[in-house]
Structure formats: C-alpha cells, structure tokens
Amino acid sequence: MDVDLIGDFTYQAIVTMLMVAMPVMAVALVVGLVIAIFQALTQIQEMTLTFVPKIILVMFSLIVFVPFMLDKMLGFMELTMANIVNIP
C-alpha cells in the first residue's frame, strides 16, 4: 500500500467525519452556550435545565441533518470502493 494513498484516505476519512459530526455538535454547542448564559443571568443552577433542551434539539437536528450526513458518508464509501482496486 502506497504511503500517499494511506495519507489521502486518512485525510478524506477525517474530513468526512468532521463534516458528518459538525452540524449536530454545533447545535449542541450553541444550545449549551445559550443555556449557560441564561443560567448565569438568572442564577438558576438546575442540571435538568441544561440537558433536556440540549437532548431535544440534538435529536431534532439529527432528523434535519440525516440526509446531508448520509450523502457525505455515501460519497466517502463510493470513494473508498473506487480506490480499493489500488490496494496491492
């Protein structure tokens, strides 16, 4: 197996992983930040106030972003299958 092929495959795998995970992670980050600011302003330190909205919005974002995520993963799989013939 060629070193350039391994490096390119690894790069594509990391980029695909980031593109698939980033929308859901960004939603969780924004929701967590908004809730943290709300808690700091009101001084309400309830743990369920953090988790419940985050879980609901992450699940909703998964429903919304699944077509995009599947498209990216299928593109990576097609690239992998096309390059599998280059492996000695």
pTM: 0.79
Instruction: Give the integer Cα–Cα distance in Å for 21 and 69.
Output: 8
CA distance 27 to 64: 11
Give mean pLDDT, residues 56-78: 95
27 has pLDDT over 80: yes
Gyration radius of the chain over CA positions: 19
